[in-house]
Structure 1
Amino acid sequence: MSEPTINNRKIVLNKKLVSFGKNQIKLGGYDWHVLMILIENHGKIVSSDILVSTAWEGKIVTKASLTQSISNIRAALGDDGKNQRYLKTIAKAGYTIPSNAISYGKSRRLNLQHSFIYKFPLIILSFIFGIALERPIFDSIHFLNNREKIKIYNEEPFKKDELVISASFLNENLNVKPNTPRNLNLLKDIANNVYIDASDKNYNFIFTSKNFPPINISANSTPDITRAFESAIDSYAKHINNEY
Protein backbone atom coordinates (compact mmCIF):
# COMPACT_ATOMS: atom_id res chain seq x y z
CA MET A 1 0.00 0.00 0.00
CA SER A 2 1.30 3.45 -0.84
CA GLU A 3 2.01 5.52 2.23
CA PRO A 4 -0.33 8.43 2.91
CA THR A 5 0.86 11.99 2.32
CA ILE A 6 -0.41 15.09 4.10
CA ASN A 7 0.91 18.58 3.21
CA ASN A 8 3.62 16.95 1.07
CA ARG A 9 4.77 15.09 4.17
CA LYS A 10 4.93 11.32 3.94
CA ILE A 11 3.60 9.25 6.80
CA VAL A 12 6.20 6.47 7.00
CA LEU A 13 4.16 3.63 8.44
CA ASN A 14 6.86 1.09 9.21
CA LYS A 15 9.00 3.65 11.06
CA LYS A 16 6.18 5.62 12.70
CA LEU A 17 7.45 8.98 11.56
CA VAL A 18 6.62 11.93 9.32
CA SER A 19 9.13 12.65 6.57
CA PHE A 20 9.58 15.72 4.36
CA GLY A 21 12.71 16.67 2.46
CA LYS A 22 15.64 15.72 4.63
CA ASN A 23 13.61 16.09 7.81
CA GLN A 24 12.09 13.30 9.84
CA ILE A 25 9.81 13.74 12.84
CA LYS A 26 9.39 10.73 15.10
CA LEU A 27 6.07 10.70 16.90
CA GLY A 28 5.50 9.26 20.35
CA GLY A 29 3.48 6.07 20.70
CA TYR A 30 0.22 7.74 21.76
CA ASP A 31 0.55 10.53 19.19
CA TRP A 32 1.13 7.93 16.48
CA HIS A 33 -1.90 5.92 17.53
CA VAL A 34 -4.11 9.03 17.43
CA LEU A 35 -2.76 9.90 13.97
CA MET A 36 -3.42 6.37 12.68
CA ILE A 37 -7.03 6.47 13.88
CA LEU A 38 -7.60 9.84 12.21
CA ILE A 39 -5.96 8.75 8.95
CA GLU A 40 -7.91 5.50 8.77
CA ASN A 41 -11.09 7.52 9.26
CA HIS A 42 -10.19 10.58 7.23
CA GLY A 43 -13.21 12.57 6.17
CA LYS A 44 -15.05 11.45 9.32
CA ILE A 45 -15.25 13.04 12.74
CA VAL A 46 -13.72 10.94 15.50
CA SER A 47 -14.85 11.91 18.98
CA SER A 48 -12.42 12.85 21.73
CA ASP A 49 -13.77 10.01 23.86
CA ILE A 50 -13.02 7.45 21.16
CA LEU A 51 -9.50 8.79 20.61
CA VAL A 52 -8.70 8.76 24.32
CA SER A 53 -10.22 5.35 25.07
CA THR A 54 -8.48 3.79 22.06
CA ALA A 55 -5.06 5.45 22.05
CA TRP A 56 -4.72 5.28 25.83
CA GLU A 57 -6.64 2.02 26.23
CA GLY A 58 -6.72 0.87 29.83
CA LYS A 59 -5.12 4.07 31.16
CA ILE A 60 -6.77 6.93 33.00
CA VAL A 61 -5.85 10.21 31.30
CA THR A 62 -7.42 13.62 30.94
CA LYS A 63 -8.46 15.36 27.73
CA ALA A 64 -5.33 17.49 28.18
CA SER A 65 -3.28 14.50 27.03
CA LEU A 66 -5.28 14.34 23.81
CA THR A 67 -5.01 18.11 23.33
CA GLN A 68 -1.23 17.89 23.60
CA SER A 69 -1.17 14.91 21.24
CA ILE A 70 -3.22 16.82 18.64
CA SER A 71 -0.80 19.74 18.97
CA ASN A 72 2.19 17.42 18.43
CA ILE A 73 0.58 15.86 15.36
CA ARG A 74 -0.26 19.26 13.88
CA ALA A 75 3.34 20.38 14.35
CA ALA A 76 4.57 17.26 12.57
CA LEU A 77 2.16 17.90 9.69
CA GLY A 78 3.15 21.57 9.37
CA ASP A 79 -0.18 22.69 10.79
CA ASP A 80 -1.28 24.57 13.89
CA GLY A 81 -4.34 25.17 16.03
CA LYS A 82 -5.07 28.52 14.40
CA ASN A 83 -5.09 27.46 10.74
CA GLN A 84 -6.17 23.81 11.11
CA ARG A 85 -5.66 23.11 7.43
CA TYR A 86 -4.96 19.39 7.79
CA LEU A 87 -6.22 18.40 11.24
CA LYS A 88 -9.42 20.18 12.22
CA THR A 89 -11.14 20.52 15.56
CA ILE A 90 -14.90 20.14 15.28
CA ALA A 91 -16.44 21.93 18.25
CA LYS A 92 -18.19 19.59 20.71
CA ALA A 93 -17.72 16.70 18.27
CA GLY A 94 -14.08 15.71 17.91
CA TYR A 95 -11.36 15.86 15.29
CA THR A 96 -11.00 15.06 11.62
CA ILE A 97 -8.46 14.95 8.81
CA PRO A 98 -10.42 16.15 5.73
CA SER A 99 -10.50 13.76 2.79
CA ASN A 100 -8.92 16.36 0.50
CA ALA A 101 -5.99 16.79 2.91
CA ILE A 102 -4.66 13.27 2.41
CA SER A 103 -3.44 11.51 -0.73
CA TYR A 104 -2.26 8.02 -1.61
CA GLY A 105 -0.49 6.42 -4.50
CA LYS A 106 -2.28 4.76 -7.39
CA SER A 107 -2.68 1.40 -5.66
CA ARG A 108 -4.53 2.94 -2.72
CA ARG A 109 -6.92 4.85 -5.00
CA LEU A 110 -7.77 1.66 -6.85
CA ASN A 111 -8.57 -0.04 -3.55
CA LEU A 112 -10.91 2.77 -2.55
CA GLN A 113 -12.72 2.67 -5.89
CA HIS A 114 -13.79 -0.89 -5.15
CA SER A 115 -14.27 -0.48 -1.44
CA PHE A 116 -18.09 -0.43 -1.43
CA ILE A 117 -18.06 -4.09 -0.44
CA TYR A 118 -16.44 -3.14 2.85
CA LYS A 119 -19.21 -0.84 4.04
CA PHE A 120 -21.05 -3.69 5.79
CA PRO A 121 -19.77 -3.54 9.37
CA LEU A 122 -17.82 -6.46 10.74
CA ILE A 123 -19.07 -9.14 8.30
CA ILE A 124 -17.47 -10.01 4.97
CA LEU A 125 -18.36 -13.10 3.01
CA SER A 126 -15.77 -15.05 1.08
CA PHE A 127 -17.17 -17.65 -1.27
CA ILE A 128 -13.91 -18.99 -2.66
CA PHE A 129 -11.37 -19.25 0.14
CA GLY A 130 -13.57 -18.78 3.19
CA ILE A 131 -11.32 -15.96 4.37
CA ALA A 132 -11.68 -12.25 3.70
CA LEU A 133 -10.06 -9.06 4.87
CA GLU A 134 -12.06 -6.02 5.92
CA ARG A 135 -10.32 -2.82 4.88
CA PRO A 136 -10.36 -0.68 8.03
CA ILE A 137 -10.51 2.55 6.07
CA PHE A 138 -14.29 2.52 6.33
CA ASP A 139 -15.19 0.28 9.21
CA SER A 140 -12.75 0.89 12.03
CA ILE A 141 -14.80 3.88 13.16
CA HIS A 142 -17.91 1.70 13.31
CA PHE A 143 -16.17 -0.74 15.60
CA LEU A 144 -14.57 1.97 17.73
CA ASN A 145 -17.86 3.78 18.19
CA ASN A 146 -19.68 0.61 19.20
CA ARG A 147 -17.03 -1.29 21.14
CA GLU A 148 -18.24 -0.11 24.55
CA LYS A 149 -21.84 -0.95 23.60
CA ILE A 150 -21.09 -4.50 22.48
CA LYS A 151 -22.00 -7.15 25.02
CA ILE A 152 -19.18 -9.51 25.90
CA TYR A 153 -20.38 -12.92 27.05
CA ASN A 154 -17.06 -14.40 28.03
CA GLU A 155 -13.38 -13.50 28.17
CA GLU A 156 -10.34 -15.71 28.42
CA PRO A 157 -6.66 -15.46 27.53
CA PHE A 158 -4.75 -17.50 24.99
CA LYS A 159 -1.17 -18.16 26.06
CA LYS A 160 1.89 -19.43 24.27
CA ASP A 161 5.32 -19.12 25.84
CA GLU A 162 5.35 -15.55 27.23
CA LEU A 163 2.73 -14.25 24.80
CA VAL A 164 -0.78 -13.60 26.15
CA ILE A 165 -3.65 -12.56 23.83
CA SER A 166 -6.96 -11.64 25.42
CA ALA A 167 -10.05 -13.04 23.66
CA SER A 168 -13.54 -11.59 24.07
CA PHE A 169 -16.46 -13.70 22.90
CA LEU A 170 -19.40 -11.72 21.54
CA ASN A 171 -21.85 -14.56 20.98
CA GLU A 172 -23.57 -16.48 23.76
CA ASN A 173 -24.35 -19.29 21.31
CA LEU A 174 -20.68 -19.96 20.63
CA ASN A 175 -20.68 -23.34 22.35
CA VAL A 176 -17.27 -24.49 21.13
CA LYS A 177 -14.31 -22.33 22.10
CA PRO A 178 -11.13 -22.51 20.01
CA ASN A 179 -8.04 -24.20 21.32
CA THR A 180 -4.86 -22.16 21.53
CA PRO A 181 -3.83 -21.53 17.91
CA ARG A 182 -0.55 -23.09 16.88
CA ASN A 183 0.47 -19.83 15.19
CA LEU A 184 -0.49 -17.53 18.08
CA ASN A 185 3.08 -16.22 18.20
CA LEU A 186 2.43 -14.39 14.90
CA LEU A 187 0.38 -11.88 16.90
CA LYS A 188 3.34 -10.78 18.99
CA ASP A 189 3.69 -6.98 18.79
CA ILE A 190 0.81 -6.62 16.31
CA ALA A 191 -2.28 -7.48 18.39
CA ASN A 192 -3.21 -7.56 22.05
CA ASN A 193 -6.87 -8.50 21.85
CA VAL A 194 -9.25 -10.38 19.57
CA TYR A 195 -13.04 -10.22 19.57
CA ILE A 196 -14.68 -13.42 18.36
CA ASP A 197 -18.21 -13.60 17.00
CA ALA A 198 -20.12 -16.31 15.14
CA SER A 199 -23.08 -16.56 12.80
CA ASP A 200 -24.57 -19.55 10.98
CA LYS A 201 -22.09 -19.20 8.12
CA ASN A 202 -19.15 -17.23 9.43
CA TYR A 203 -16.74 -16.68 12.27
CA ASN A 204 -15.55 -13.11 12.72
CA PHE A 205 -12.22 -12.29 14.36
CA ILE A 206 -11.69 -8.59 15.10
CA PHE A 207 -8.05 -7.94 15.98
CA THR A 208 -7.15 -4.82 17.94
CA SER A 209 -3.78 -3.31 18.73
CA LYS A 210 -2.33 -0.15 20.23
CA ASN A 211 -0.40 0.44 17.02
CA PHE A 212 -2.88 -0.45 14.27
CA PRO A 213 -6.58 0.15 13.61
CA PRO A 214 -9.10 -2.64 14.30
CA ILE A 215 -9.24 -5.17 11.48
CA ASN A 216 -11.92 -7.80 11.00
CA ILE A 217 -11.18 -11.16 9.41
CA SER A 218 -14.23 -13.20 8.42
CA ALA A 219 -13.81 -16.96 8.04
CA ASN A 220 -16.21 -19.56 6.71
CA SER A 221 -17.57 -21.66 9.58
CA THR A 222 -17.17 -24.93 7.67
CA PRO A 223 -13.81 -25.75 9.29
CA ASP A 224 -13.65 -26.02 13.07
CA ILE A 225 -13.23 -22.77 14.94
CA THR A 226 -9.60 -23.41 15.87
CA ARG A 227 -8.61 -23.83 12.21
CA ALA A 228 -10.63 -20.75 11.32
CA PHE A 229 -8.84 -18.79 14.07
CA GLU A 230 -5.44 -19.92 12.79
CA SER A 231 -6.37 -18.91 9.22
CA ALA A 232 -7.53 -15.52 10.47
CA ILE A 233 -4.25 -15.00 12.34
CA ASP A 234 -2.28 -15.85 9.16
CA SER A 235 -4.31 -13.36 7.12
CA TYR A 236 -4.06 -10.64 9.74
CA ALA A 237 -0.28 -11.04 10.18
CA LYS A 238 0.29 -10.96 6.42
CA HIS A 239 -1.87 -7.86 6.10
CA ILE A 240 0.00 -5.98 8.85
CA ASN A 241 3.40 -6.99 7.45
CA ASN A 242 2.41 -5.92 3.94
CA GLU A 243 0.62 -2.69 4.85
CA TYR A 244 2.86 -1.36 7.61
Structure 2
Amino acid sequence: MRLALLADIHANRLALEACLEHAQARGAERLVFLGDYVGYGAQPNEVLERIQAEVSRGAIAVAGNHDQAVADEQESMTTDAETAMAWTRGQLGREAREFLASLPLRFEDGPRLYVHASPQTYPPWLYIREGRDARRALEASRAQMVFCGHTHVPALHGITATGQLVSFKPVPAVPIPLPIHRRWLTVVGSVGQPRDGHPGAAYAMLDTASSELTHFRVAYDIQATATSILQAGLPRALAARLRKGF
Protein backbone atom coordinates (compact mmCIF):
# COMPACT_ATOMS: atom_id res chain seq x y z
CA MET A 1 0.00 0.00 0.00
CA ARG A 2 1.15 3.52 -0.75
CA LEU A 3 0.61 5.87 2.18
CA ALA A 4 0.79 9.65 1.73
CA LEU A 5 1.97 11.31 4.96
CA LEU A 6 1.11 14.99 5.45
CA ALA A 7 1.79 17.23 8.45
CA ASP A 8 1.64 20.87 9.51
CA ILE A 9 -0.85 22.12 6.94
CA HIS A 10 -1.56 25.26 8.98
CA ALA A 11 -4.66 26.49 7.18
CA ASN A 12 -2.89 26.58 3.81
CA ARG A 13 -5.55 25.27 1.43
CA LEU A 14 -3.60 25.67 -1.80
CA ALA A 15 -0.58 23.80 -0.47
CA LEU A 16 -2.81 20.99 0.79
CA GLU A 17 -4.63 20.65 -2.51
CA ALA A 18 -1.34 20.64 -4.43
CA CYS A 19 0.07 17.85 -2.25
CA LEU A 20 -3.08 15.76 -2.44
CA GLU A 21 -3.17 16.07 -6.22
CA HIS A 22 0.53 15.17 -6.41
CA ALA A 23 0.04 12.14 -4.16
CA GLN A 24 -2.97 10.93 -6.09
CA ALA A 25 -1.02 11.12 -9.35
CA ARG A 26 1.61 8.88 -7.75
CA GLY A 27 -0.84 6.23 -6.67
CA ALA A 28 -1.49 7.10 -3.03
CA GLU A 29 -3.97 4.59 -1.62
CA ARG A 30 -4.39 6.04 1.86
CA LEU A 31 -3.82 9.43 3.43
CA VAL A 32 -2.31 9.99 6.86
CA PHE A 33 -2.57 13.45 8.41
CA LEU A 34 -0.10 14.14 11.21
CA GLY A 35 -1.59 17.19 12.88
CA ASP A 36 -1.55 21.00 12.93
CA TYR A 37 -4.29 21.65 10.43
CA VAL A 38 -4.97 25.17 11.70
CA GLY A 39 -2.92 28.14 12.87
CA TYR A 40 -0.79 30.66 10.95
CA GLY A 41 -2.84 30.52 7.71
CA ALA A 42 -6.10 32.15 6.67
CA GLN A 43 -8.11 29.14 5.45
CA PRO A 44 -8.77 26.94 8.50
CA ASN A 45 -12.35 26.06 7.58
CA GLU A 46 -11.49 25.07 4.02
CA VAL A 47 -8.61 22.89 5.20
CA LEU A 48 -10.68 21.20 7.90
CA GLU A 49 -13.56 20.54 5.51
CA ARG A 50 -11.17 18.74 3.14
CA ILE A 51 -9.54 16.72 5.90
CA GLN A 52 -12.89 15.74 7.41
CA ALA A 53 -14.02 14.57 3.98
CA GLU A 54 -10.86 12.49 3.58
CA VAL A 55 -11.25 10.98 7.06
CA SER A 56 -14.81 9.98 6.18
CA ARG A 57 -13.29 8.07 3.23
CA GLY A 58 -10.76 6.23 5.37
CA ALA A 59 -7.90 8.65 5.97
CA ILE A 60 -6.10 8.65 9.32
CA ALA A 61 -5.71 11.89 11.29
CA VAL A 62 -4.07 12.73 14.62
CA ALA A 63 -4.07 15.99 16.56
CA GLY A 64 -1.30 18.56 16.71
CA ASN A 65 -0.56 21.26 19.25
CA HIS A 66 -2.25 23.99 17.19
CA ASP A 67 -5.34 21.81 16.84
CA GLN A 68 -5.53 21.36 20.60
CA ALA A 69 -4.87 25.06 21.18
CA VAL A 70 -8.22 25.86 19.58
CA ALA A 71 -9.84 24.68 22.80
CA ASP A 72 -6.91 25.28 25.18
CA GLU A 73 -6.07 28.95 25.43
CA GLN A 74 -3.26 28.17 27.89
CA GLU A 75 -1.15 26.58 25.15
CA SER A 76 2.17 28.44 25.03
CA MET A 77 2.98 29.92 21.61
CA THR A 78 4.95 32.70 19.99
CA THR A 79 3.28 36.10 19.70
CA ASP A 80 2.45 35.69 16.01
CA ALA A 81 1.15 32.16 16.58
CA GLU A 82 -1.06 33.33 19.45
CA THR A 83 -2.42 36.16 17.29
CA ALA A 84 -3.22 33.71 14.50
CA MET A 85 -4.80 31.25 16.94
CA ALA A 86 -7.04 33.93 18.45
CA TRP A 87 -8.20 34.79 14.92
CA THR A 88 -8.68 31.10 14.09
CA ARG A 89 -10.88 30.53 17.14
CA GLY A 90 -13.18 33.26 15.86
CA GLN A 91 -13.46 31.59 12.45
CA LEU A 92 -14.26 28.01 13.41
CA GLY A 93 -17.79 26.73 13.96
CA ARG A 94 -19.01 23.99 16.26
CA GLU A 95 -18.50 21.14 13.79
CA ALA A 96 -14.89 22.08 13.11
CA ARG A 97 -14.16 22.40 16.82
CA GLU A 98 -15.77 19.04 17.58
CA PHE A 99 -13.74 17.40 14.83
CA LEU A 100 -10.48 18.76 16.21
CA ALA A 101 -11.44 17.74 19.74
CA SER A 102 -12.18 14.19 18.57
CA LEU A 103 -8.73 13.56 17.11
CA PRO A 104 -6.38 11.16 18.94
CA LEU A 105 -2.81 12.09 19.84
CA ARG A 106 -1.46 8.88 18.31
CA PHE A 107 -2.57 6.15 15.93
CA GLU A 108 -1.00 2.70 15.69
CA ASP A 109 -1.21 1.04 12.28
CA GLY A 110 0.49 -2.34 12.48
CA PRO A 111 4.26 -1.69 12.72
CA ARG A 112 3.74 2.05 12.16
CA LEU A 113 3.00 4.75 14.71
CA TYR A 114 1.62 8.14 13.68
CA VAL A 115 2.01 11.13 16.00
CA HIS A 116 2.35 14.86 15.57
CA ALA A 117 5.52 15.47 17.56
CA SER A 118 6.97 12.45 19.38
CA PRO A 119 5.90 9.15 20.96
CA GLN A 120 7.06 10.63 24.28
CA THR A 121 4.05 11.82 26.22
CA TYR A 122 5.53 14.19 28.83
CA PRO A 123 5.56 16.85 27.57
CA PRO A 124 3.51 15.93 24.51
CA TRP A 125 4.98 18.44 22.03
CA LEU A 126 8.69 17.67 21.94
CA TYR A 127 10.68 18.74 18.88
CA ILE A 128 12.83 16.16 17.11
CA ARG A 129 15.57 18.36 15.76
CA GLU A 130 18.59 16.03 15.91
CA GLY A 131 19.65 12.46 16.32
CA ARG A 132 19.58 12.32 20.10
CA ASP A 133 15.97 13.58 20.05
CA ALA A 134 15.10 10.82 17.60
CA ARG A 135 16.79 8.19 19.74
CA ARG A 136 14.77 9.21 22.82
CA ALA A 137 11.60 9.20 20.74
CA LEU A 138 12.25 5.73 19.36
CA GLU A 139 13.10 4.45 22.82
CA ALA A 140 9.67 5.67 23.97
CA SER A 141 7.91 3.46 21.41
CA ARG A 142 7.92 -0.16 20.31
CA ALA A 143 6.85 0.69 16.76
CA GLN A 144 9.18 -0.30 13.94
CA MET A 145 8.43 2.98 12.15
CA VAL A 146 7.40 6.32 13.66
CA PHE A 147 6.09 9.16 11.49
CA CYS A 148 5.69 12.73 12.75
CA GLY A 149 5.80 16.41 11.88
CA HIS A 150 6.04 19.42 14.23
CA THR A 151 9.55 20.66 13.34
CA HIS A 152 8.56 21.57 9.74
CA VAL A 153 11.93 20.20 8.53
CA PRO A 154 12.13 16.82 6.71
CA ALA A 155 14.45 14.29 8.34
CA LEU A 156 14.99 10.56 8.69
CA HIS A 157 16.61 8.75 11.61
CA GLY A 158 17.20 5.04 12.14
CA ILE A 159 18.57 2.76 14.83
CA THR A 160 20.42 -0.39 13.75
CA ALA A 161 20.17 -3.78 15.43
CA THR A 162 23.39 -2.92 17.30
CA GLY A 163 21.98 0.37 18.58
CA GLN A 164 23.85 2.67 16.19
CA LEU A 165 21.97 5.82 15.21
CA VAL A 166 21.98 6.83 11.53
CA SER A 167 20.47 10.09 10.25
CA PHE A 168 19.68 11.28 6.74
CA LYS A 169 18.62 14.51 5.09
CA PRO A 170 16.06 13.31 2.52
CA VAL A 171 16.51 14.33 -1.10
CA PRO A 172 13.15 15.09 -2.77
CA ALA A 173 11.86 12.39 -5.14
CA VAL A 174 14.65 9.94 -4.23
CA PRO A 175 13.30 6.72 -2.62
CA ILE A 176 14.99 5.61 0.59
CA PRO A 177 14.92 1.91 1.54
CA LEU A 178 13.80 1.27 5.13
CA PRO A 179 15.18 -2.19 6.02
CA ILE A 180 13.01 -3.94 8.57
CA HIS A 181 15.99 -4.90 10.74
CA ARG A 182 16.24 -1.23 11.70
CA ARG A 183 13.75 1.01 13.48
CA TRP A 184 12.95 4.32 11.83
CA LEU A 185 11.65 7.77 12.69
CA THR A 186 10.64 10.12 9.89
CA VAL A 187 9.82 13.81 10.12
CA VAL A 188 7.79 14.37 6.98
CA GLY A 189 8.21 18.15 6.72
CA SER A 190 5.43 20.71 6.43
CA VAL A 191 2.73 21.02 3.81
CA GLY A 192 1.71 24.55 4.69
CA GLN A 193 4.72 26.25 6.25
CA PRO A 194 8.15 24.74 5.45
CA ARG A 195 11.09 25.92 7.57
CA ASP A 196 14.08 24.38 5.84
CA GLY A 197 14.75 27.17 3.36
CA HIS A 198 12.65 25.58 0.60
CA PRO A 199 9.24 27.20 0.07
CA GLY A 200 7.68 24.21 -1.72
CA ALA A 201 5.08 22.20 0.18
CA ALA A 202 6.57 19.05 1.72
CA TYR A 203 5.11 15.61 2.28
CA ALA A 204 6.26 11.99 2.12
CA MET A 205 5.00 8.71 0.73
CA LEU A 206 5.65 5.23 2.09
CA ASP A 207 5.36 2.15 -0.10
CA THR A 208 4.71 -0.61 2.43
CA ALA A 209 5.26 -3.36 -0.16
CA SER A 210 8.81 -2.29 -1.02
CA SER A 211 9.46 -0.58 2.34
CA GLU A 212 10.63 2.55 0.57
CA LEU A 213 10.04 6.13 1.69
CA THR A 214 10.08 9.09 -0.68
CA HIS A 215 9.93 12.75 0.29
CA PHE A 216 8.48 15.25 -2.14
CA ARG A 217 8.38 19.02 -2.64
CA VAL A 218 5.40 20.44 -4.47
CA ALA A 219 4.96 23.89 -5.97
CA TYR A 220 1.79 25.86 -5.22
CA ASP A 221 0.59 29.46 -5.46
CA ILE A 222 2.52 30.99 -2.56
CA GLN A 223 1.65 34.56 -3.53
CA ALA A 224 -2.10 33.89 -3.39
CA THR A 225 -1.72 32.22 -0.01
CA ALA A 226 0.38 35.09 1.36
CA THR A 227 -2.19 37.59 0.09
CA SER A 228 -4.99 35.75 1.89
CA ILE A 229 -3.03 36.01 5.15
CA LEU A 230 -2.57 39.74 4.74
CA GLN A 231 -6.21 40.27 3.76
CA ALA A 232 -7.30 38.44 6.92
CA GLY A 233 -5.31 40.93 9.00
CA LEU A 234 -2.89 38.30 10.28
CA PRO A 235 0.77 39.20 11.04
CA ARG A 236 2.77 40.11 7.96
CA ALA A 237 5.59 37.82 9.07
CA LEU A 238 3.35 34.81 8.54
CA ALA A 239 2.97 35.76 4.88
CA ALA A 240 6.64 36.65 4.38
CA ARG A 241 7.94 33.35 5.76
CA LEU A 242 5.99 31.39 3.14
CA ARG A 243 8.09 32.96 0.40
CA LYS A 244 11.34 32.17 2.22
CA GLY A 245 10.46 28.69 3.45
CA PHE A 246 11.79 29.59 6.87
TM-score, shorter chain, exceeding 0.5: no
Structure with the bigger RCO (C-alpha within 8 Å, sep 6+) is 2
